[in-house]
């Protein structure tokens, strides 16, 4: 347990609702995060929706993000928004609104392309373009980055050097679980330095039972399984003295979104199940735990592993 996680009701910058929670014994501040992309940009639909068609599809990301901002405001919670450059370019107003509401602006890259499908030069162009756009529109420095579909792994470890060179301070791009689309089950479960630079990787939250890590960061699991499963997992991580990261997408609170034809049954089940329950569930989650931005939750804590130690885990 690091003292940086322990906040008191006297924390001047804190919204009243969150301060009350921290004072009432829910003492760990967790990181609320939103990956700002539209329903047609998800990896599960990449096989049936050409990225060239994105501009022709009815966009819902602005309205859904605005609704999320309202939900967070009701609970006085702050969050980090990992925004796609593609979205920022088309909907600059929503980026400005996120920044004006006191949330952290971070990058989800420009074109939502998995890193293992890009060359190093393409990756650099993608993150540079997103960061410049977001800083220009949001008027604040962008420090955080989250890879599309958690696509940093042993083969794309070079991404960390490029992220640091382009001015990022942290990444939240690894999910230390086994999953069919992503995941690196042997990665550290707590923040670590993946490269020679000071850049921090802040992995998505897991709970460990026996020798296996189980996901505890929201996403599809939060929507598909009963709320109590996630609540117990978050509570357990907090009891162990660590903050959690929760992530969700604006399209997850939008049951009225157009249905994408031709996607597999598995993709459709993952994407459309329980969309109508999400808004209430997120409100409940905001009430049950204390939530803040990635930078305020994690950037004050020293990395638990040095670059040398993490090289042993993920050799180049």
Task: Tell me whether residue 39 or residue 289 sits nearer to Zn ion (CB atom).
Answer: 39
- Name the H helices within 139-205: 159-165
Residues whose CB falls within 8 Å of the CB of residue 181, separated by 6 or more in sequence, listed in order:
43, 44, 149
3-class SS string, 40-97: HHCHHHCCCCCHHHHHHCCCCHHHHHHHHHHHHHHHCCCCEEEECHHHHHHCHHHHHH
Nearer to Zn ion, 37 or 38 (CB): 37
First to last CA, the chain: 31
Those residues whose C-beta lies under 8 Å from the C-beta of residue 284, and which sit 6 or more positions away, are 227
Give the residue with the Cβ less far from Zn ion, 148 or 243. 148
**Of residues 35, 126, 252, 254, which one binds Zn ion by CB under 5 A?**
35
Q: Are 252 and 61 in contact (CB under 8 A)?
A: no
Residue 267: CB minimum distance to Zn ion, A: 14
Least distance (Å) between residue 148 CB and Zn ion? 5
Smallest distance from the beta carbon of 274 to Zn ion, in angstroms?
19
Residues within window 137-176 making contact with Zn ion, judged by CB under 5 A: 148
Looking at the Cβ atoms of 113 and 238, the one nearer to Zn ion is 113
Stretch that binds Zn ion, among 31-39, 200-208, 233-241, 291-299 (CB under 5 A): 31-39
Length of the chain: 316
With binding defined as CB under 5 A, does residue 296 bind Zn ion?
A: no
Segment 108 to 137, residues that bind Zn ion, using CB under 5 A: none
DSSP-derived 3-state class of residue 233: helix
| Closer residue to Zn ion in complex, CB, 103/108 | 108
**Rounded CA gap, 23 and 100, in Å?**
26
| Interacting positions 209-268 with Zn ion (CB under 5 A) | none
Quick one: 44 or 162, whose CB is closer to Zn ion? 44
Using CB positions, name the residue nearest to Zn ion: 35
Least gap, CB of 171 to Zn ion (angstroms):
14
Element (H, E) at 36: strand 29-36
Which positions lie near Zn ion, rule CB under 5 A?
A: 35, 37, 148
């Amino acid at each position: 347990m690091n003292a940086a996680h322990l906040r008191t009701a006297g924390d001047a910058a804190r919204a009243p609702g969150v301060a009350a929670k921290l004072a009432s014994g829910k003492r760990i501040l967790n990181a609320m995060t939103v990956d700002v992309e539209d329903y047609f940009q998800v990896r599960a639909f990449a096989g049936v929706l050409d990225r060239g068609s994105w501009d022709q599809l009815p966009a819902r990301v602005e309205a859904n993000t605005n609704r999320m901002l309202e939900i967070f405001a009701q609970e006085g919670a702050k969050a980090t928004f990992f925004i796609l450059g593609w979205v920022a370019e088309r909907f600059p107003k929503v980026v400005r609104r996120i920044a004006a509401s006191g949330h952290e602006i971070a990058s989800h890259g420009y074109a939502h392309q998995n890193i293992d499908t890009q060359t190093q030069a393409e990756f650099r162009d993608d993150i540079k373009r997103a960061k410049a756009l977001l800083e220009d529109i949001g008027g604040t420095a962008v420090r955080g980055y989250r890879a599309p579909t958690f696509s940093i792994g042993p083969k794309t470890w070079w991404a960390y050097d490029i992220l640091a060179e382009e001015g990022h301070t942290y990444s939240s791009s690894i999910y230390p679980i086994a999953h069919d689309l992503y995941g690196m089950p042997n990665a550290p479960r707590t923040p670590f330095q993946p490269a020679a630079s000071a850049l921090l990787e802040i992995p998505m939250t897991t709970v460990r039972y026996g020798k296996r890590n189980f996901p505890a960061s929201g996403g599809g699991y939060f929507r598909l399984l009963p709320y109590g499963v996630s609540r117990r997992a978050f509570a357990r991580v907090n009891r162990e003295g660590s903050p959690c990261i929760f992530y969700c997408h604006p399209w997850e609170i939008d049951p009225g979104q157009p249905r994408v034809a031709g996607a597999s049954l598995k993709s459709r089940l993952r994407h459309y199940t329980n969309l109508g329950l999400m808004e209430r569930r997120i409100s409940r989650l905001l009430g049950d735990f204390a939530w803040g931005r990635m930078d305020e939750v994690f950037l004050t804590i020293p990395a638990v592993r040095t670059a040398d130690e993490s090289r042993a885990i993920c050799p180049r």
